[in-house]
């Protein structure tokens, strides 16, 4: 699984998502952001529709799904990490 650190190192849109995911949703706490990133990717990996793929492809699909979700949700004013919302 690519970590937020990995995404950040890739630059471009991936880095932007990693930074926003960390700073907007987790107040700059990279550890908490990384933990929630991993949990979200694992939740998507458990989806029935990914069962038909190899493990490597399913993992990339799950990561891309969460990245796309973050890209579309982070710009929304007042949006919050879905895991932070459920734990508060």
46-81 pLDDT, tens digit per residue, is 988 898 999 999 999 999 999 999 999 999 999 999
Q: Is the pTM of this model over 0.85?
A: yes
The encoded tokens of residue 23 equal: 């700073």
List of residues 6+ apart from 68 with CB closer than 8 A: none
Is residue 11 classed as helix, strand or coil in its secondary structure?
Answer: coil
The whole-number pLDDT of residue 80 equals: 94
- Least confident among 2-11, 36-45, 79-88: 79-88
Q: In terms of C-beta density within 10 A (0-12 exposed, 13-18 middle, 19 or more buried), how is residue 24 classed?
A: middle
């Amino acid at each position: 699984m690519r970590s937020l650190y990995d995404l950040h190192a890739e630059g471009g849109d991936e880095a932007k998502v990693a930074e926003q995911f960390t700073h907007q949703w987790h107040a700059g706490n990279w550890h908490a952001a990384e933990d929630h990133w991993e949990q979200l990717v694992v939740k998507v990996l458990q989806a029935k529709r990914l069962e038909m793929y190899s493990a490597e492809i399913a993992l990339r699909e799950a990561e891309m799904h969460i990245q796309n979700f973050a890209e579309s949700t982070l710009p929304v004013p007042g949006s919050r990490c879905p895991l932070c919302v459920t734990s508060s």
